[in-house]
Each structure stands twice: as C-alpha cells, then as structure tokens.
Amino acid sequence: MPQIPEKIHELTVGQLSARSGAAVSALHFYESKGLISSRRTSGNQRRYTRDTLRRVAFVRAAQRVGIPLATIRDALAELPEERTPTHEDWARLSEAWRSELDERIKQLNRLRDHLTDCIGCGCLSLDTCVLSNPDDVFGERLTGSRLMAEQGGGRGRGAEGRG
C-alpha cells in the first residue's frame, strides 16, 4: 500500500483510491451521495483531506455489514465536518444499528427456511406461495395468474386473463 508523506495534507482521488482500496468511481459515488467531500483546485481536480481516509474506511465497514448508504450518510452528518469517526463513534452507531441488523437476519432466516417450500411449489400455486404471498395475504382477493397480473400493474404477461 503506497504511503503518503505526513507533510501532504490533501490527497488526489488516485491517492485516496490507492490508500483506501476503494475504486475511483466508488469515491466519486460516495461524494455524490454526501458521504465524503473534496475541494476543487484551480484546474478543477478533486483534493481530499487526509481524514477522508478514515471516513471511507467507516463507509466501507458499514456497507460490509449491510448498512444502507442513506443511514451511513445520516450517521456521518451527526459528526462535525472536520472530525473523523472515532472508535467511540463506531461503537455508538453500531449499537444503534444492531437491532436493524437483527431484524434483517430474522427475515433472511425466514426466507432461507421457506426456500425449500418454494422449490417444491414451482410457483404453480401462487395463492399459497410463502415467498410471493407470505401468510396468504392475497388469498382472499385473487389467486394464480390473476394475482401476478395485479402485482405487475396489469400489464404484460398474465394480464390477458383479467376480467
């Protein structure tokens, strides 16, 4: 990993990419989403302060555990602009995100447990499919291809059967 001398206080997008491991396109995307910021030189080149390295590491760690970018942006917005996220910031935020992750894990476990049922069904009984129609919420209104047509907005395949 290339080292940046301490006397350099601003990084080019290439230097930030090399040090953070994030692609240049990802850094541009993060900037467009308000996760990091840069200043522009007179030649319109981006320059990032050194603390952006820690912000990028924070974003990538949060993404790896499944936190949506909007949630990450909101978390970073709580920090003063010039301060990098600290260990304490991460601990506080990760504790707040724990219940959201626990709920997602529960949903994924349900999905995994019902996947075998879906394979057996072959989507021939959409009225009782645990993935397309959990808890048979549509069963009282419509069934089969009529259900698919309504879910798809009534256009395309299956719509011809609607009355």
For residue 34, being part of any structural domain is answered with yes
- Amino acid 9: pLDDT: 82
Name 112's Cβ contacts closer than 8 Å, sequence gap at least 6.
none
- Amino acid 84: pLDDT: 75
- Amino acid 163: pLDDT: 41
- Amino acid 92: pLDDT: 85
For residue 46, being part of any structural domain is answered with yes
**Can you read off the two tokens belonging to residue 13?**
């997008």
Q: How many domains does the chain have?
A: 1
Rounded to two decimals, the pTM is 0.62
Q: Low-confidence residues of the chain, pLDDT below 70?
A: 1-7, 80-83, 116-163
For residue 158, being part of any structural domain is answered with no
For residue 4, being part of any structural domain is answered with no
Domain span at 105: 11-121
For residue 40, being part of any structural domain is answered with yes
**Among candidate residues 40, 74, 39, 46, the one with its CA nearest the CA of residue 58:** 74
- Tokens 């990802």, located at residue: 26
- Amino acid 121: pLDDT: 58
